[in-house]
Amino acid sequence: MKGIRRSLLFVPGNSPGMILNGCIFGADSVVFDLEDAVSTGEKDAARILVRNALKTLDYGNTERIVRINSLKTPYWMDDLNMIIPAGPDVIMPPKVQGDEDIHRIESYISGIEKDRGIPAGRIKLIPLIESALGVEKAFEIAVASKRITGIFLGGEDLTADIGAKRTKKGDEIFYSRSRIVIAAKAAGVSAIDTPYTDVNDEEGLIQDAVLARGMGFNGKAVISPRHVEHVNRVFTPTEEEIEYARRVLEATARGEKEGKGAVSLDGKMIDAPIVARAKQILEIAETLKGGRLR
Ligand SMILES: CC(=O)SCCNC(=O)CCNC(=O)[C@H](O)C(C)(C)COP(=O)(O)OP(=O)(O)OC[C@H]1O[C@@H](n2cnc3c(N)ncnc32)[C@H](O)[C@@H]1OP(=O)(O)O
Ligand SMILES: O=C([O-])CC(=O)C(=O)O
Ligand SMILES: [Mg+2]
């Protein structure tokens, strides 16, 4: 895991008010959208607005991500030409279908960096995987570039692509969620879950986020400021989890002194994988405590 992104708030790139407020809701990352939240007639205006926001607004510790348009559109090069010099933290290319897509985007970004004297490689990538082919190639995508810091499942487009019915429970995307988690972890990058699109159903959102965290996702996209706090809470280790993780490490240290590989704690066996999970919990808790989100 390269960093902590519990919540990623999508902000339509053509909405000055939402862009201005994007960083006040406590999301770890903000995704300025130039793609599906922006109609074709507004693409130019949105690009300028997002560029100006990147250049002039202080987002503090909030990571600034820009979702560009897909390679199949006439917009993606203009998006990068305008956005890269404004210094976003991450570019999110949508509808990524394989490593070729990443190579094309990366080489275009590198060209802009070279022309403009921008330090090479600082801007990261989080590919959005939202088609059957993309899911099949998730690992290939996740390792296609050193810039990749996470991969992100887009449940809405994916469901359209596979001809499934989108449900709140999400059985239709369960397999794809697992594939994204496995590919991300195998590649050593973070796994980001699809947003929950019913803005008013906060109970359903929490259940969906709990499921995602339980599956191994590191964080979840959100489309509403009202979802940020819930998602942050679900992806933050609880006091009980932290306390238990500490006790696991203490019990293991005692066991080691006594020359035992496996020890028992509260009647349960503690061995290497349980210790590894305890360390992950404590690492996330420490990182959050220190305010070092990435
Ligand atoms: C499948 C996909 O591709 S998802 C990714 C693309 N989609 C997006 O980016 C959509 C982002 N979200 C939105 O545009 C909006 O939340 C909507 C359209 C879904 C709902 O909008 P509303 O009905 O206005 O929501 P709501 O009533 O909860 O808004 C409350 C306040 O939060 C603001 N707000 C709502 N969503 C956002 C957001 N994503 N970012 C920042 N501010 C927001 C509203 O402007 C409003 O502010 P105000 O009280 O000062 O007027
Ligand atoms: O925008 C998102 O967060 C996800 C997305 O594109 C999709 O689900 O198709
Ligand atoms: Mg999509």
Which residues, 6 or more positions from 268, have their beta carbon under 8 angstroms from its beta carbon? none
Average pLDDT over residues 274-287: 93
pLDDT 10s digits, 101-137? 999 999 999 999 999 999 999 999 999 999 999 999 9
Instruction: Please tell me the distance between residue 158's alpha carbon and the centre of ligand 3 in angstroms.
Output: 8
- Using CA atoms, how far residue 292 sits from 4, 41, 220, in Å, is 8, 39, 18
* ipTM of model: 0.95
Closest atom of ligand 2 to CA, residue 221: 3
Helix H or strand E segment including 52: helix 43-56
On the question of pLDDT at 212 being above 90, the answer is: yes
Q: Verify whether ligand 2 is closer than 6 Å to residue 154 (CB atom).
A: yes
Closest CA to 180 of 230, 127, 224: 127
pTM of the model: 0.94
Report the chain's mean pLDDT, rounded to a whole number: 95
Q: Which residue has the higher pLDDT, 137 or 287?
A: 137
Residue-level pLDDT at 133: 98
Average pLDDT over residues 148-152: 98
Closest C-alpha to ligand 1, atom 45? 18
pLDDT, position 1: 30
The pLDDT-based confidence of 292 (bands split at 50, 70, 90) is low
Instruction: Verify whether ligand 1 is closer than 6 Å to residue 110 (CB atom).
Output: no
- Separation of CA 154 and ligand 3 centre (Å): 5
What is the whole-number distance in angstroms between the Cα of residue 243 and the centre of ligand 1? Answer: 37
